Structure 1
Amino acid sequence: MHSSRFFKMALILGLLSAIGPFAIDMYLPALPAIGQSLGADVSAVQLSLTAFFLSLGVGQLLYGPVSDMLGRKPPLYFGLVVFTAASVGCATATNIETLIAFRFIQGLGAAAGMAIPRAVVRDLHTGNDAARLMSLLMLVFSVSPILAPLAGSAVIAVTGWRGVFWAVTLVGLAGLVLIYTMLDETRPVSERVESNLGSALRAYGVLLRDTHYLGLVFIGSSAMAGFFVYLAGSPFVLINHYGLTPTMYSLAFSVNAVAFIGAAQFTGTLGERFGLVHVVKMAASASGVVMFAMLAYYLAGGDQLAVLMVLYFIASAFMGLVIPTTSVLALEKHGAIAGTASALLGTLQMLTGAAAMGVVGLFSNGKPLPMVVGMATGALIGVALTWGTLGGTPSSAPKQQHC
């Protein structure tokens, strides 16, 4: 693929993938304000985040097979229409129960932008080319946790927390325009002939029996789970416990995204030199060591924000190597059902993250330790899964293939 078209595709897919995360990251600085405005406690406000993640995960199970049957673009249109309409509902919610309900619907719509772009990558490439495109996609995708909290803080300062959801509504409309004007269909009619409900169910059966695929999916899921725990807990820990303003919190949150983005851009190069499998082994193990050090620090009574920020910055960099690379490896052998495989991958990641947030939320007290325990647990489970799944796998770079 010509380099300019390569970068154009990464930009389009990254922006579509970022719509759902943008709806998360932009309202993180508003969580304490939402609780005060709607008279809800911390756990109820966090439930609005958990509900979004649950539907974002479950919804992908539908969009993946549908995109194999109907092509990639029709379900993208449908999903973004649902997302946009639900965003209006969130903006006008008068109680926490209504907000939670609309956040759930909003997540169902956003799920299209999470599942389908990965399938498009697999439609076009495998191997190191796929890793390179996926890392570029992650570059654009990861702009969300850098810019969204800052944008959210600015919007909140001017309009209050409801303005965040009106802004997200505009983002949904922009996504619809982007699909119509710039995204080409990558699933030809000839490849959809044998795709139907029965084949989708059979495909899920194949994937659920593929222990190597599931191992790779849960390596990425474990890394994501630790991040989701941080996502849910950090506004209360950094703002209420450490005393940061919403704007300062947004900057602190963005620092970790920079580490993730920067490291992700080396996946293609490192994959060519050492092999994608070896990259995952090294990065997951290093992330586990760093997170174990953070856990030991807090268990020993430490409570310095600088330690939390520095260690999580390093861990985020290693996660930037793990998450896109495991996605590429998981889809490598499932090109014929890429939409379904991508959907199951995304669903399991989101459900794992939502479960981790829910469990840690039961112990949340606004202090760092419960959050750190959840983050470190995700990283250490990821290490165990990495060596259990890839311990005996050759680390040579996979041969590049083109669809």
Structure 2
Amino acid sequence: MVRLALILGLLSAVGPFAIDMYLPALPAIAADLGTTEAGVQLTLTAYFIAFGVAQLFYGPLADAAGRKLPLLLGLGIFAAGSVGAASAGTIEVLAAWRFVQGLGGAALMVVPRAVIRDRYTGTEATRLMAMIMLVISISPMLAPLAGSGVIALAGWRWIFYALLLAGGLSILLLTFGLPETLARESRQTPRLAPMLAGARRLLTDPMFMGLTFVGGFGMASFFVFIASASFVYTQQFGLTPTGFSIAFAINAIGFFGASQVAAPLGARIGIGRLVRIGVSGFATATVLLAAVTLGGLASLPVVVGGLLVANAFMGLVIPTTMVLALEDHGDIAGLASSLGGTLQMLAGGMMITLTGPFFDGTATPMLLAIAICGLLAAGLCWTVLRPVRDPARA
């Protein structure tokens, strides 16, 4: 399990790395390309939307052609997008190439989930997902620092050449390190009618939809933070790109640290109960942080510490909702993973689009938007997911 987690974690980290390494450069990109904060956030929204929509394609392809081919295809597209983004001369062109990057990076999100479902279910799947989260945690902890170093040495465009190198190394890792996990006799020819039937089954399953959007609003809160944190930390609190990278890493520690205890806690108290505890804690922490901010007490330690706590609760939610959402849909795990991922990424992109016009480089709009995500996740959890089944106890 450890070897599989390491490989899947490194592959899955490429997509987040393309976001996190890029964050310290957002103010510099805005200045270099003559755009606003909202304009440069468009490049993130384009990536998120492509990252979400493309999963609808990779899921069925993974069910039909196996798990390795979609991963190789996605990495090739990601590499092409990286080359284009490095040479972009306007914010619109950069957004377009980031869209291409997202189209490729989507494969690295949806297919590893299906690989997990090929091998494990229930608590074991949660444990493997948590191990993968641990590997992915190198991204928010090291990627912004790496991006700051690249900016200092060569400028923001070289960030995309570094991502091109990461894509090439991932192709080698995939080719020589990951075995095919979907047997030929289990593969399903992609036909429109079965796909529509599977999608209808998922979209009308309140448990699948509820779990997907509980996790989706949790992820949306992190997307809001990603889109605005570099401006908040550098403009309101006066941090350098390196200082921002350190603060960002601290905020991420809570999420990835908590994700490592999700599996043993789920086995002990039940995965469904763990989801409800995590969502309730996340909503409470984000609302309190927003209230403190409105009261004029949003110092840098308060913001960083409050987000550390909130993200820790979210770390209990994301891996468990992913596992539970796929639990009853093993026969269409690829489609379920892709549809769930698409809905979650669209929720995140939509939240950035709706709240972007209110961002002004201060913490207040960012923290209010995050609190809204917490309240939406909590409301959905306590109205839809009360009868959630715990596979560890079933």
TM-score normalized by the length of structure 2: 0.98
Show the counterpart of 1:302.
297
1:251-400 equivalences in 2 (<5 Å): 251-393=246-388, 397-399=392-394
Q: How far apart are the structure 2 equivalents of 1:198 and 1:205? A: 10
Q: How far apart are the structure 2 equivalents of 1:366 and 1:182? A: 44
Native 8 Å contact 1:274 1:395 kept in 2:
no
Q: How far apart are the structure 2 equivalents of 1:375 and 1:220? A: 14
**Residue of structure 2 aligned with 1:79, choices 74, 81, 92:** 74
Q: How far apart are the structure 2 equivalents of 1:238 and 1:360? A: 18
Alpha-carbon offset, residue 390 of structure 1:
2.2
Native 8 Å contact 2:207 2:388 kept in 1:
no
**Residue of structure 1 aligned with 2:204, choices 195, 199, 209:** 209
Alpha-carbon offset, residue 397 of structure 1:
3.2
Alpha-carbon offset, residue 117 of structure 1:
0.3
The one-letter code of the counterpart of 2:11 is: L
Native 8 Å contact 1:54 1:350 kept in 2:
yes
Show the counterpart of 1:23.
18
Q: How far apart are the structure 2 equivalents of 1:54 and 1:396? A: 32
Cα deviation code 1:275-313 (max 9, x no counterpart): 100111111101111111011111222231111111110
The one-letter code of the counterpart of 1:203 is: G
Q: How far apart are the structure 2 equivalents of 1:193 and 1:351? A: 27
**Residue of structure 1 aligned with 2:217, choices 219, 222, 232:** 222
Show the counterpart of 1:160.
155
Q: How far apart are the structure 2 equivalents of 1:186 and 1:202? A: 25
Q: Match of 2:324, SS?
A: helix
**Residue of structure 1 aligned with 2:237, choices 235, 242, 253:** 242
Q: How far apart are the structure 2 equivalents of 1:12 and 1:398? A: 29
Identity of aligned residues (%): 49
Show the counterpart of 2:132.
137
Which runs of structure 1 show a deviation greater than 4 angstroms over 4 or more consecutive aligned residues?
none
Native 8 Å contact 2:122 2:391 kept in 1:
no
Q: How far apart are the structure 1 equivalents of 2:97 and 2:208? A: 33
Q: How far apart are the structure 2 equivalents of 1:324 and 1:312? A: 19
The one-letter code of the counterpart of 1:276 is: I
Q: How far apart are the structure 1 equivalents of 2:342 and 2:190? A: 20
**Residue of structure 1 aligned with 2:41, choices 46, 52, 58:** 46
The one-letter code of the counterpart of 2:392 is: A
**Residue of structure 1 aligned with 2:115, choices 106, 117, 120:** 120
Native 8 Å contact 2:251 2:305 kept in 1:
no
Native 8 Å contact 2:7 2:178 kept in 1:
yes
Q: CA RMSD in A?
A: 1.1
Unaligned runs of 5+ in 2: none
The one-letter code of the counterpart of 1:97 is: E
Q: Match of 2:106, SS?
A: helix
Native 8 Å contact 1:274 1:396 kept in 2:
no
Alpha-carbon offset, residue 204 of structure 1:
1.0
Native 8 Å contact 1:64 1:343 kept in 2:
yes
Q: How far apart are the structure 2 equivalents of 1:343 and 1:397? A: 24
Show the counterpart of 1:3.
none
Alpha-carbon offset, residue 386 of structure 1:
1.1
- For residues 110 and 395 of structure 1, do their structure 2 counterparts lie closer, same or farther at Cα, with a shift above 3 Å needed? closer
Cα deviation code 1:73-113 (max 9, x no counterpart): 11111111000011000001111111011000110010000
Cα deviation code 1:128-148 (max 9, x no counterpart): 000000100111112111110
Report the number of matched residues: 394
Native 8 Å contact 2:265 2:274 kept in 1:
yes
Alpha-carbon offset, residue 123 of structure 1:
0.7
Unaligned runs of 5+ in 1: 1-5
Q: Match of 1:147, SS?
A: helix
Native 8 Å contact 2:63 2:332 kept in 1:
yes
Q: How far apart are the structure 2 equivalents of 1:60 and 1:142? A: 22
1:195-206 equivalences in 2 (<5 Å): 195-206=190-201
TM-score normalized by the length of structure 1: 0.96
Q: How far apart are the structure 2 equivalents of 1:118 and 1:310? A: 31
Alpha-carbon offset, residue 57 of structure 1:
0.4
Q: How far apart are the structure 1 equivalents of 2:142 and 2:189? A: 42
Native 8 Å contact 1:69 1:196 kept in 2:
no
Cα deviation code 1:316-361 (max 9, x no counterpart): 1111110000000000000011011000111111100001111110
The one-letter code of the counterpart of 1:126 is: T
Q: Which moved more, 1:89-98 or 1:297-306?
A: 297-306
Alpha-carbon offset, residue 261 of structure 1:
1.2
- For residues 194 and 30 of structure 1, do their structure 2 counterparts lie closer, same or farther at Cα, with a shift above 3 Å needed? closer
Cα deviation code 1:192-231 (max 9, x no counterpart): 1455333222211110111110000000001111111011
